[in-house]
Amino acid sequence: MQVDELYPQAARRNYSNTIQGLAKVAEEGALFRGAGANGFKLAAICSSMTNIYDWCKENSYFFFGPHWINRLWGTAVAVAIGTVVSMPFDMIRTRLHTMRPLPNGQMPYNGMIDCFNKIIKYECNSKWMSNFGSFYAGGEAYFLRLFLICYLSQFLVDYYNENYYDQEFWQPQRFHYQSGIDYDIHDPYTDAFNKKLVATYTTATGGMGAAHPSGKENLAII
């Protein structure tokens, strides 16, 4: 509906509202077209970005301490890798979902594999002055959208968890702390954390006691 007016008159779908749009899409058999490629896209995003973000924030945390730059650069690096890994699947999903019948009545692509092979053959061929960059057309907008979603959603989660003051601390393992598992250096509440990092910050309770998990809500980052 958002870009319908950009199409030629004969190619417009002319949806009047969301319900009618969904009904017509289902009638055309396109409601779940490209679902497989979309699943691979989401799997690529989750499997590539989460570990990279965790690694970046963990390592920079032990250099900079609780600083906003940890979250910013960790998200940027993770999103960059996620863009490289997932954008080809997003392109295939878009092609499958928006394709229209050819003049002979056949669809341009018979499925995800066929779509991938045709893109490689006709759009990533050096004979036609092209390369694999065809899979990343519009990559800047894709990166920016994904970055804003990932970065802003973290603050929304902090707001939901009432985690206002210690959001810049390295937290991936905090959900497992009370299980008794010893994460050694990966545990953000180690002696190194207590003595070298928290000592530079003032708290409402004072002393090193604020570094304990039960007192972390009293941390005040300055």
Rg of the Cα atoms in the chain: 24
Provide the mean pLDDT of the chain.
75
How far are the Cα atoms of 94, 107, 131 from residue 30, in angstroms, in the given order?
A: 11, 12, 29
Dmax (CA) of the chain: 78
> How far apart, in whole angstroms, are the C-alpha atoms of residue 154 and residue 20?
35
The pTM of the whole model exceeds 0.85:
no
> How far apart, in whole angstroms, are the C-alpha atoms of residue 85 and residue 90?
10
Can you give the pLDDT at residue 104? 87
Average pLDDT over residues 118-131: 77
Q: Where in the chain is the domain with CATH 1.50.40.10?
A: 16-161
Can you give the pLDDT at residue 164? 57
Say yes or no: domain 16-161 is CATH 3.10.129.10: no
Q: Which residue has the higher pLDDT, 34 or 162?
A: 34
pLDDT tens digits for range 56-111: 888 887 787 777 888 898 899 999 999 999 999 999 998 888 888 888 888 888 88
Residue corresponding to tokens 């890994």: 85
Q: Return the structure tokens found at 26.
A: 């289902």
Average pLDDT over residues 174-199: 46
